[in-house]
Amino acid sequence: MKNQYINRELSWLDFNARVLQEAADPTVPLIERLRFLGIFSNNLDEFFQVRFATVKRLSQSEKTGRKALKGIDASELLDQITKVVIDLQQKSAQTLKNIEEELAKENINFITEKEVSDSQKAFLHDYFIQQINPALVTVMLTDKPQDFSDNTAFFVVRMEGTHLGMEEKAVHALIELPPDLNRFVVLPSEGAQQSIMLLDDVIRYHLHLIFGMFNYTKIEAHMVKITRDAELDLIEDVGKSYIDKIIESVKDRVVGDPVRLVYDRKINPETLTYVMQKLGIASSDSLIPGGRYHHRRDYMNFPSLNRKDLSYAKFPPLPIKGLSLEESILSAVGQKDYLMYTPYHNFSYVIKFLREAALDPDVKTIKITLYRLAKVSHVVSSLINAAKNGKKVLVQIELQARFDEENNISFAEKLEAAGVQLIFGVPGLKVHTKICVIERLEGKKMRRYGFISTGNFNESTAKIYTDYTLFTSHQKILKDVQKVFNFFEVNFKLKKYKHLIVSPHYTFSSLSRLIDNEIEQHKAGKPARIRLKLNNITNYKIIDKLYQASSAGVPIDMIVRGVCCLVPGVKGMSENIKVISIVDKFLEHPRVYLFENGGDPKMYISSADLMTRNIDNRVEVACPILDPQLQKELLDTFMISWNDNVKARLVNGKEQNSFVSTDTPSLRSQWAMYEYFKNQLA
């Protein structure tokens, strides 16, 4: 059937448009709107570094890329992407303008270098001399080759009429925005008025202090931003360790092929051509015209300005009912399973579990997988503490976690120095599963305790990402978890799992059986329904299975935050499938698979999205939720999200990204979720 699937890249851009909707939403607090604008920009940066770069590689190969992109020519897709991105960038610029106008009504004003008052000059002069100037990297451009770092915003400075014997041509220089400085300079308030200057304009205001020696007659500075291909190419050198290969590949990323140049529309055309020549950009498909400012991802860290009325109210993390941070967590988990749902629940339970295991003299081994870690990681310090207490600690750390490679290498070195045994994954596979198992000597037998999560063991993201973590002492589940760690160490032997669904060997076949079972249950007149909560679904084989279930009459409810290649609501193919997406204060991150199974539900939490990479090219784990009370909790929380009629959008329908509208009272799922867990405690 034609139009069976939505192109992955275009679907991703639809997702980022939902993020931009939040920035444009007048019901969202103003400072939060700025931060959503930053998230939109940051997402776009990563899209160009990874997905756009991949499509560009295909378009430049000898083959057209039509097969790899499921029927669409790579060059044609590049053109479509560029058109969509330019449109989104224009909407982004207009959204920023609207926000700034609204902020002005709140006595918060962005000023440029041309609007500095006499009373602000001294402050700005001192701030520039003491904070900015020492951190600036300024490079005079010559005919010699020079490197532009990746994903960095630069001023291209053009000087004319200098006294250095170069009057016949312009002199150019680059100024790199210092990444360690706050992009937003908050000036001393004047009465009720609060003025803010972007770092860019503070630099523009002081160009004379940087380039005064040139005695120019005209100077101008326009911003450009270069984005490079961020794919890691691991060098095949048997003489180098795995860590050394990753380190070298990360360094090479800085000089990868350019995939995007965003530039100020007002830049001198000669200067733009000069910069393109320096970068080796020949085609216009890499050019994105923009406004005066780039690197809008910095708005993610826009200051609160002590204006609580312009930000979201905080949700203090709640305790898990029946689980105490002041008593033994191992003892409690030994009695029953617990389900944590961050950020509504306190992530400290993970740290408490590891700290207790590190100190307990009866705990003999700790095994854990690490993918993305906080810059200051209490998880890592707990594992180091355990090793120093004589525990056998084994850590599988994924060095190829994209954009976290350097952070993970640093932690790997610290763990190794403390005596922790490190495993760097399986050749050809990323380890994306989030699992931990410990062994504790009780009497004469070893008993296992552990946790399995949908998200990273990361204290920072646990405050803003929604994720489930199951704490359990279910010995058969944890025996399977132990087999996953055995697979890391001896990966030529295929393991069999009784409870877990494990990629890359079993996810597709297991999900296929579960879907087929729902079809059979429906045919038998028994309760049948599939409910899925995901970040992304792109695997066509899984999509086809869902189409098959829909055609057989099985209702399918899907909450997909990001990329969705499935087309719902098509008669004869997917009329029984509905897809929504929720974008709100927290980033929806869990993966949940719920199957009605004739009234005896089968429920799983998982680290795996339904993407080919998760199914075939990564080690992933989906874990069953067996406790009836926790099953109810999992279904309750799914239904709270499913019934959202404030922040839910319809995906891949007639009107893309239109908000869900119902006759029921307003329900904003993330707010309702917090109240759900709060009421549990009451």
Q: Is the pLDDT of residue 401 over 70?
A: no
Q: What is the pLDDT of residue 289?
A: 79
Q: Report the number of distinct structural domains present in the chain.
A: 3
Whether 2 is covered by a domain: the verdict is no
Kindly state the average pLDDT of the residues 319-325: 95
The CA–CA distances, whole Å, from 509 to 62, 82, 486, 593, 596 equal 35, 38, 22, 14, 18
pLDDT score of 287 more than 90: no
- Report if residue 45 sits inside a domain: yes
> For the chain, what percent of residues have pLDDT higher than 90?
67
193 exposure class (CB count in 10 Å sphere: 0-12, 13-18, 19+)? exposed
pLDDT greater than 90 at residue 231: no
Rg (CA), the chain: 27
Report yes or no: 405 and 399 within 8 Å, Cβ to Cβ.
yes
- Contact of 373 with 405, CB cutoff 8 Å: no
Nearest C-alpha neighbor of 476 from the set 439, 448, 501, 496: 448
Average pLDDT taken over every residue of the chain: 89
Phi, psi of 19 (to 5 degrees): -65, -40
14, 157: one domain: yes
Peptide bond into 504 cis (omega under 30): yes
In a 3-state reduction of DSSP, which class is residue 258? strand
Distance CA(501)–CA(516), nearest Å, equals 16
Q: Over 90: is that where the pLDDT of 361 sits?
A: yes
Q: Are residues 600 and 533 in the same domain?
A: yes
Please tell me the distance from the alpha carbon of residue 160 to that of residue 286, in angstroms, as a whole number. Answer: 28
For 186-219, write each residue's pLDDT tens digit.
999 988 899 999 999 999 999 999 998 888 889 9
Task: Please check the confidence at residue 344 and state whether its pLDDT lies above 90.
Answer: yes
Which band of pLDDT confidence, cut at 50, 70 and 90, is reported for residue 399? confident
Binned at pLDDT 50, 70 and 90, residue 579 comes out as: very high
Q: Which of 489, 509, 544 is the last residue of a domain?
A: 489
| Strands, E assignment, 522-610 | 530-534, 556-560, 577-582, 587-588, 591-595, 602-606
CA dihedral 240, 242, 248, 250 (to 10 degrees): 170
| Angle CA 245–249–254, to nearest 5 | 155
Residues annotated as catalytic (active site), given as ranges: 432
**Length in residues, the chain:** 682
Read off the pLDDT of each residue in 594-615 and give the average, rounded to a whole number: 97
Q: Is residue 496 part of a domain?
A: no
Least confident range from 248-257, 325-334, 388-397: namely 248-257
Q: Among candidates 403, 415, 453, which has minimal Cα distance to 432?
A: 453
Of residues 72 and 607, the one with the higher pLDDT is 607
pLDDT of residue 145: 59
Give phi and psi for 674, each to the nearest 5. Answer: -60, -45
pTM exceeds 0.75 for this model: yes
User: Are residues 475 and 506 part of one domain?
Assistant: no
In terms of domains, do 459 and 514 share one?
A: no
Residues 358 and 451 occupy one common structural domain: yes
pLDDT at 259: 64
Residue 63 above 70 pLDDT?
Answer: no
Round to whole Å and give the CA distance between 373 and 681: 30
**Domain final residue pick, 444, 467, 489:** 489
For the chain, the first-to-last Cα distance in angstroms comes to: 53
Are 391 and 354 in contact, with CB atoms under 8 Å apart? no
Among the candidates 250, 282, 310, a domain finishes at 310
Q: List, in sequence order, every beta strand (DSSP E) within 229-333.
A: 258-264, 287-290
Query: Which residues touch 358 (CB under 8 Å, ≥6 apart)?
Result: 366, 382, 383, 385, 386, 389, 391
Question: How does DSSP classify residue 230?
Answer: -
- Residue 70 banded pLDDT, cuts 50, 70, 90: low
Residue in the block written with tokens 């002041």? 326
In a domain, 551, yes or no: yes
In a domain, residue 319? The reply is: no
CATH of the domain at 654: 3.30.870.10
The CATH number assigned to the domain holding 248 equals 3.30.1840.10
Is there a domain that residue 317 lies in? no
* H or E element, residue 442: strand 434-442
| Cα 153 to Cα 262, 292, 297, distances in angstroms | 9, 12, 11
Other beta carbons less than 10 A from residue 256's beta carbon? 18
Residue 67 has pLDDT above 60, yes or no: no
Residue 653 in tokens: 């329908």
Same domain? For 28 and 130 the reply is: yes
Cα distance between residue 209 and residue 175, in whole Å: 13
Asked which of 236-240, 259-263, 667-671 is least confident by mean pLDDT, the reply is 236-240
pLDDT at 71 over 90: no
Domain-located, residue 541: yes
Residue 567 in any domain: the answer is yes
Q: Is residue 500 predicted with pLDDT exceeding 90?
A: yes
Instruction: Please list, in sequence order, all residues whose beta carbon lies within 8 angstroms of the beta carbon of residue 412, skipping any fewer than 6 positions away.
Output: 243, 397, 399, 422, 424
Neighbour count for residue 611 (Cβ, 10 Å): 21
What mean pLDDT is predicted for residues 116-122?
A: 93
469 φ, ψ to 5°?
A: -135, 125
Domain check: are 506 and 452 in the same one? no
Q: Tokens 């034609």 correspond to what residue?
A: 2
Backbone angles phi, psi at 470, to 5 degrees: -95, 120
Q: Report the distance separating Cα 189 and Cα 126, nearest Å.
A: 16
The residue segments making up the domain with residue 620 are 501-681
Shared domain check, 454 and 367: yes
CA separation for the pair 299, 556 (Å, rounded): 38
**Same domain assignment for residues 353 and 213:** no
Query: Phi and psi (nearest 5°) for 347?
Result: -65, -15
pLDDT attached to residue 148? 56
DSSP state of 130: I
Domain shared by 344 and 482, yes or no:
yes
Q: What percent of the chain has pLDDT over 70?
A: 89
Nearest to 619 by CA among 539, 500, 449, 448: 500
Q: Are residues 516 and 457 in the same domain?
A: no
